[in-house]
Every structure is written in C-alpha cells, then in structure tokens.
Amino acid sequence: MHSDRTHLTLPEIIAGRRSVRAYLPDPVSREQLSHMLEAARWAPSPHGRQPWRFAVVTQPPAKLRLAEAMGAEWRRQLALDGQDEATITTRYEKSHGRIVSAPVIVVPCLYLEELDRYPDDERQAAETTMAIQSLGCAIQNMLLAAYHQGLDCGWMCAPLFVPATVRAALSLDDTLIPHALITVGYAAKDPVRRPRRLLEDLVVRWE
C-alpha cells in the first residue's frame, strides 16, 4: 500500500520526510520523476546560474554498472584505510544492494562552468561553496516533492569520494561533478525517525 500524502501541509511534508534505505520493488513513473526534478529546478542558486545537472538511472543494467564500478573503487579505498576483508565485503554488499535494489537512482551533479571567475582562490572557493549550497537546496526540493507524491528517498554521499568513477559508469561529461546518489522508491517499511535537537539549542543568538 502506497501512502497518500497529497493532502499534507508544507510543515507536515518537511517534518514527515525521512531517509529510506530499503524499497519495495514497485516502479516509479517517469511523470513522478519529472515532478521531482521540476521541484529541483526551482531551487535558489548563486546569480541564478542553476549550477546543477541530474542523471537519472532506472534501468537495472545501468544500476548494476554503477554499483559495481563504485564498489570496486570503494573496496580499494577501504583496503587503503586498513579495513579487514570481511568488513570490506559486508560494507560493499550493503552499499551494492542499496543501489541495485532501489527502483530509481538520481545522481545530482555540480556544474561549475557558468559561475563567476575570480583571480584569487579564496573568492573562487566561496563561489564553489555557494554552488554546493545551492545543489543541497535543489536536492531537498526533490526529496520533498518525492515525499509529497508518496515516494521516499535516501541520500548516499559515496559519489563525492569517487566522482570520476561515477562519471565513467554513466558516461557523464567531464564538466559534471557527481555529488550524491539519491535512491527513490516506496519504502519497504517505515524507518525509525531520527530525533532532532531542540530549536533553542540551534538558535545561538536572537536579539
């Protein structure tokens, strides 16, 4: 049974969304995905440049290719960290399973080509930070639009550590920097909700 969340208010959608790491096999339609990407499109961005692009992966062979390429690189990195073979295999299998069993994967990529250029590194770094902040806004819009439609998402940061591998696996242009892997589908079960800090712990000054 899929949840009908179309009647929810914005605060209910914001507080109701949660990360999902296991999905039902039920497919997600192209229309639903378009609705999520449309929400991403309206995110705020530095100078209005929209420094993000999205790769959508729905076909099982493409998901497998992505999971295997990323997994091989990740195994190599975990071995460099000195992790033992059994731990590496467990972590690899968990991550691989999450990617191949998600009905859809969206890979949000940072696209810096149209940002302002500065002669100094400090301001250039600030420009890049703005673009990354904006990518986060676009992703959150997407997560909320998914939740509103009864879908669920999970955020995997792995592409940040292996951007070239993700680019190669999906034949993405060199100008795109994969920043995350968003799994999309219908939750297999309602996950445990992570608590939040009280607002008074977060607001450090109000005068």
Binding positions for ligand FMN, rule: CB under 6 A: 18-19, 21, 155-158, 194
Shortest CB 20 distance to ligand FMN, Å: 8
| Percentages (nearest 5) of helix, strand, coil residues in the chain | 50, 15, 35
Cα maximum dimension of the chain: 56
29 vs 133, beta carbon nearer ligand FMN? 133
Residue 171: CB atoms within 10 Å: 9
Chain mean position to CA 39? 14
Shortest CB 70 distance to ligand FMN, Å: 12
34 vs 90, beta carbon nearer ligand FMN? 90
18 vs 49, beta carbon nearer ligand FMN? 18
Q: Give the Cα separation of 41 and 27 in Å (integer).
A: 23
196 vs 205, beta carbon nearer ligand FMN? 196
Chain mean position to CA 149? 17
Q: In this structure, what are the phi and psi dihedrals at residue 105, rounded to the nearest 5 degrees?
A: -125, 130
Shortest CB 117 distance to ligand FMN, Å: 26
31 vs 202, beta carbon nearer ligand FMN? 202
Shortest CB 22 distance to ligand FMN, Å: 11
Q: Give the Cα separation of 125 and 46 in Å (integer).
A: 13
Q: Where are the alpha helices (DSSP H) in 42-177?
A: 60-80, 85-101, 121-148, 163-169
Shortest CB 170 distance to ligand FMN, Å: 18
Shortest CB 207 distance to ligand FMN, Å: 30
12 vs 116, beta carbon nearer ligand FMN? 12
- Residue 107 DSSP label: E
Residue 173: CB atoms within 10 Å: 10
